[in-house]
Structure 1
Amino acid sequence: MKKSLILLLLLLVFHSCGTETLPKPKSYLTLQYPNSTYVKQNFNCPYSFEVSSQAIVEPKDNCWLKIEYPHLKATVHITYRSVDNNLNQILSEVEKLTFEHTVKADVINAIPYENLEKRVFGKLYSIQGDVATNIQFRVTDSVKNVLAGALYFYTKPNYDSIVPAIKYIEKDIIHLVETIEWK
């Protein structure tokens, strides 16, 4: 019995040495998102803008909006505030909400936006790290209106996993800001 066991082991060893073992190549995740087309949204509010046709827009009270991306499990919440000699106070509140993420954020980048012709002035905040909202923005005409928005995903924050979706929606948010028109 010992001889047959040794013979079997030797046979397996010599048989397994016949082919060269090669490591498997690294695999990479490929995510493909549809090309964005945009639709102008007119609300019974003092603003209008274009939104991706991939999104579902749900108006709320006080000219607030919910822009949902069901295939990405994400929502952009937009709040509207009218200005009554309190522009600095409103902008400070919005900025305070953004910088509350500094505890968990790795980096917070602020990208200014200005369109003098349309009187649209704003900032887009890109927040890197495992935070609740990775993109926030604010836009104003500096006289009567302020819009603020924040992107949320329906999942526990894991920045490395959701970066492609963040970048896809960020492009749509930039387009939204660039197409804002005040009434």
Structure 2
Amino acid sequence: MKKLYVFVIMLLMGCSGNPVPKPRGFFRIDLPEKKYTSYDDATCPYRFDIPDYAIVLPDTNRFAEPCWKYVLYPKFRAQLYITYKNLHNDLAAFAEDSRDLVYKHTIKANAIDETVIHTPNKVYGMMYDIGGNAASNFQFYATDSVRHFIRGSLYFNAAPEADSLKPVVDFIKKDVKHLIQTLQWKN
């Protein structure tokens, strides 16, 4: 009987306080230090820098052409698809195709910001920063406007949740911008 009284008193005292909400917790993403090395495939007419934590592989898709590449980010389950085309007075068509592919993401995107590319290495083009839960968060095209055209698009092997992916997207975007700044044409 004495135990019952103690139990009832403890029960009543335990229920008197206000509930304390638990803070939302997120996984911590450890981002590696940025160190770059030059990527130069002798069979392709371009070279650029990639981070040490990325791997470049040839595109094995049956429609792929020889200088199409994947820049894989294994730690982040991400890949940058790079396609290369020789220009034959088709710059306007290639640029418009790139723009069309970007704007197919408007269904899920809440914003698409365009930034002009112009580097000292005679690289010109456009970067597209795609906001929201779009499948691709960042795309670009780069050209010398005479012979070479490269298009890149960043994808993740994960559901496109912008809030969750934002730290990694921002981190990889810096790598892609560095790739563009170091892109050189081999004529």
Q: TM-score range by the shorter chain?
A: 0.7 to 0.9
Alignment correspondent of 1:169? 172
Gaps of 5+ in 2: 60-64
Give 1:146's aligned amino acid: F
| TM-score when normalising by structure 1 | 0.88
Flag as ranges the 4+ runs of structure 1 deviating above 6 A. Answer: none
**Post-superposition shift, 1:112?**
1.3
Over the matched positions of the two proteins, sequence identity in percent amounts to: 33
- Counterpart of 2:91? 87
Distance in 2 of aligned mates of 1:99 and 1:47: 27
Q: 1:73 aligns with which of 74, 77, 98?
A: 77
Structure 1 CA distance, aligned partners of 2:125 and 2:69? 18
Q: Which has the larger radius of gyration?
A: 1
1:29-48 to 2 correspondence within 5 Å?
A: 29=26, 30-43=28-41, 44-48=43-47
How far apart are the structure 1 equivalents of 2:79 and 2:3? 67
Question: Deviations for 1:7-65, whole angstroms, at most 9, x for unmatched residues?
Answer: 345421565489x7784773653322011111101112111000111001002442110
Looking at structure 2, the residues matched to 86 and 15 of structure 1 have their Cα atoms a distance apart, in angstroms, of: 79
**Correspondence for 1:120:** 123
Distance 2:81 2:140 in 1: 10
Q: What's the counterpart of residue 102 of structure 2?
A: 98
SS in 2 for 1:151: strand
Taking the aligned partners of 1:17 and 1:130, their CA distance within structure 2 comes to 42
Aligned-partner residue type, residue 62 of structure 1: P
**Residues in 2 aligned to 1:147 and 1:109: alpha-carbon distance in whole angstroms:** 19
The one-letter amino acid paired with 2:141 is R
Q: Once the two structures are superposed, what CA deviation does each residue of 1:57-103 show, in whole Å capped at 9, x if it has no partner? A: 00244211001011100110000011001110011001100011111
Letter in structure 1 aligned against 2:137: N
Match of 2:55 in 1: 56
Does the residue aligned with 1:95 lie in a helix, a strand or coil? helix
Structure 2 length-normalised TM: 0.86
Structure 1 stretches of 5 or more lacking a match? none
Secondary structure of the residue aligned to 2:75 is coil
1:135 & 1:102 partners in 2: Cα distance?
13
User: Corresponding residue for 2:23?
Assistant: 26
Give the aligned CA root-mean-square deviation in angstroms.
2.4
1:148 match: 151
